[in-house]
Amino acid sequence: MDFGLQGRKILVTGGTRGIGRGIVLAAAEAGADVLTCHRSDGPAVDSLVAALKETGGDHHVVRADLAEVTEVDRLAAEARERFGTLDGVVNNAGVISHIPYEKLGVEEWHRVLDTNLTAAFRVVQQCLPLLGDRGSIVNIGSRGAAAGIPLRAHYTAAKSAMIGLTRSLAKEYGGRGLRINVLAPGVIETEAMDEMPPDRAQALREMYSGKTALARLGTVPEVAAVALFLLSDLSAYITGETLNVDGGI
Ligand code: NDP
């Protein structure tokens, strides 16, 4: 499908693994130029760089720990230096942690909120001057945040707040043509699941498949396609919205 993204400049945070990697590669294959970042070095970075080389285009993969505000600012400066302007931003970088609420320390609370929420706040703030009239921001939320998830109060608090942030910004900047939406994935099969012991991964697959109308988990390309739709002019009259990609949970 042609999303009309040829030559568009797009920043995707956390693009070396999982959903972020899928969005980066789909955008590059659609003809966009992509800047993405990661926190740690390793084979995932090398593999992304190699895959991006095959798509052609002006792509950049940089290290930036978005839990640190100064690193977010450096990433935005990199976008300015490499591209001058941006057409799209995807706030994808996120961390998940499971912990009983009474054991949730302030440090862990901040670690999860810094990466899943504060980074998005600051990325948008720093990228606003770079985004043109047809700019589109996609915030990756979580379908589970709306329902609540035991042991993930901090994570769901961050992801739910992303919806309020998105709606407010849609109203504040809609007048200049900027659109901002949340894409909320359900349970998506990523490398993280392949890295689990096979019996645990299988148990998770069975448990979540049973909760979806489509009786299966989602795939990274299925999420990436919706991200490209929201980045593209095909969604020109959608803003402030939360789009669930959850197989009908
Ligand atoms: P992964 O853990 O597979 O990948 C996360 C990516 O974000 C990696 O590239 C990672 O880089 C990067 N990242 C994490 N923390 C930071 C940081 N502080 N600074 C810079 N980059 C960082 O995640 P998923 O693909 O599973 O999830 C992606 C998004 O989708 C998240 O926001 C998540 O909450 C959301 N989501 C995922 C679901 C799922 O089923 N997978 C369901 C619902 C929502 P590095 O490897 O270097 O740390």
Q: Which two tokens stand for residue 95?
A: 């961390």
63 DSSP 8-state letter: E
Q: Which residue reads 């910004």 in tokens?
A: 169
Domains defined along the chain, listed by start: 9-239 (3.40.50.720)
Q: What is the 3-state secondary structure (H, E, C) of 2-61?
A: CCCCCCCEEEECCCCCHHHHHHHHHHHHCCCEEEEEECCCCHHHHHHHHHHHHHCCCCEE
CA of 92 to the centre of ligand 1 (A): 6
The atom number, within ligand 1, closest to the CA of 192 reads 3
CA gap 131, 9 in Å, rounded: 10
Q: Which two tokens stand for residue 158?
A: 């961050």
Decide if 237 is catalytic: no
pTM above the 0.90 mark? yes
CA of 6 to the centre of ligand 1 (A): 26
Q: What local confidence, expressed as pLDDT, does residue 134 receive? A: 83
Residue 157's CB is within 10 A of a number of other CB atoms, namely 17
Q: What local confidence, expressed as pLDDT, does residue 48 receive? A: 98
The atom number, within ligand 1, closest to the CA of 144 reads 43
- Provide, rounded to the nearest whole percent, the portion of the chain with pLDDT above 90: 88
88-131 pLDDT tens trace: 999 999 999 899 999 999 999 999 999 999 999 999 999 999 99
CA of 176 to the centre of ligand 1 (A): 30
